[in-house]
Amino acid sequence: METQTTTGLEKAKAVEKWRTHLFPAGLAILILLNILIFMEHLGFSIVSRYYKGILILAFINIILAVSLNLINGITGLFSIGHAGFMAVGAYVSALLSLNMGRWEFVSPQVQAVIQFPLVLLAGGLAAALAGLVIGIPTLRLRGDYLAIATLGFGEIIRVVALNLNITRGARGIASIPNYTSLWWAQLFAVVTVVIIWNIVHSNHGRAMVAIREDEIAAEAMGINTTYYKVLSFTIGAFFAGVAGGLLAHHLTFISPKAFDVLKSIEILLMVVLGGLGSITGSVIAAIVLTALPEVLRFLQAYRMVIYAGTLVVLMIFRPQGLFGRAEVDLTVFKSFFRSRTGEEVTSRPEKRGGNGGSA
């Protein structure tokens, strides 16, 4: 409710937070990362191929988690079919890349640079179209029914990919050009986060939050709930499609198996762990959950059991996720240090997720 009564203040705070903490912090991390990667060209190979691969996956997962958070966390629509939109983006962009042919007037490198963003955009638009087509009928449903319907659509997309000739069925599409570099993944992740952050803190975002808090009340306040629900769903689908395209051009091979229910659930876990409604939470959770399986590799078979067990325990003791709805920024550290030194803790009211989904 807090979010509705103090919207103006909220917005000012968000802008303030963005300007003073999040933007500089994010920029600093990215610059540091890029210096480390750039060292390679100077002869110091600090970031190995293995770590580069993980970083690319982390950036792709950031796009997926943040875009799903717009649907699940901000608008409160419980969707578990994100892998389906990813599949649409992956297939469309991969097929376009493979069939574009060789442009005679530019060198292959230049062609890749021009072609790749266009192809990803096309993949994203195709996924957005799928989101629109699926969203208009299913978003009439609520809560559990919506969840199961989106899951169903996700599966249908997978089965369609399994059956069409153009997607080559279960054999999948191989030898997709390996265009996804760390630079591209990074660029698209940053653009996604910035765009979604701005949507959330715009009028549209506040309408979406209002729908999450109470759909009937939002409607009574004159918000066109159907429009905003479909909008949120379509935007989320668009970025999932872009992420799918990035993944396809990173792995150079895609098959319907990669986009099954488990993939959707994996993305959902990132959103939930980070906190439904917290964009910074999603970013951090995406990074953690990409790195965690690699770190836990020594546990081998126990890995997934621990993973699932942790999720259940987390839900029981902290159902709002690690960060709840709060955005993480440097004040977290500030208040931490202040309380350590005995000073008064800055009064930063943490908005605890009281009533999650629009159940």
Least distance between other proteins and beta carbon 226 (Å):
15
Amino acid at site 304: M
With respect to other proteins, which residue has the nearer C-beta, 56 or 65? 65
With respect to other proteins, which residue has the nearer C-beta, 230 or 242? 230
Contact in structure between 308 and 268 (CB atoms under 8 Å): no
Least distance between other proteins and beta carbon 216 (Å):
5
Least distance between other proteins and beta carbon 124 (Å):
24
Least distance between other proteins and beta carbon 112 (Å):
35
With respect to other proteins, which residue has the nearer C-beta, 98 or 314? 314
Distance CA(270)–CA(328), nearest Å, equals 15
Least distance between other proteins and beta carbon 270 (Å):
12
With respect to other proteins, which residue has the nearer C-beta, 24 or 309? 309
Amino acid at site 214: D
Least distance between other proteins and beta carbon 300 (Å):
9
Chain positions contacting other proteins, by CB under 8 A: 78, 137-138, 140-145, 147-149, 151-153, 155-156, 158-160, 162-163, 169, 216, 261, 265, 268, 272, 276, 301-302, 304-305, 307-309, 311-312, 315-316, 319-320, 353-357, 359
Going from the C-alpha of 144 to that of each of 149, 311, 357, the distances in angstroms are 9, 20, 10
With respect to other proteins, which residue has the nearer C-beta, 24 or 354? 354
Least distance between other proteins and beta carbon 296 (Å):
13
Cβ-count burial 157-188 (b if 16+ within 10 Å, e if not): bbeebeeeeebbeeebbeebbebbbbebbbeb
The first and second tokens of residue 119, run together, are 């192809």
Is 332 buried (19+), middle (13-18) or exposed (0-12) by CB count in 10 A? middle
Residue 223 neighbours by CB distance under 10 Å: 17
Count of H helices and E strands in the chain? 15, 0
With respect to other proteins, which residue has the nearer C-beta, 63 or 270? 270
CA angle 256, 96, 115 (to 5 degrees): 130
Tell me the three state secondary structure of residue 253.
Answer: coil
With respect to other proteins, which residue has the nearer C-beta, 257 or 348? 257
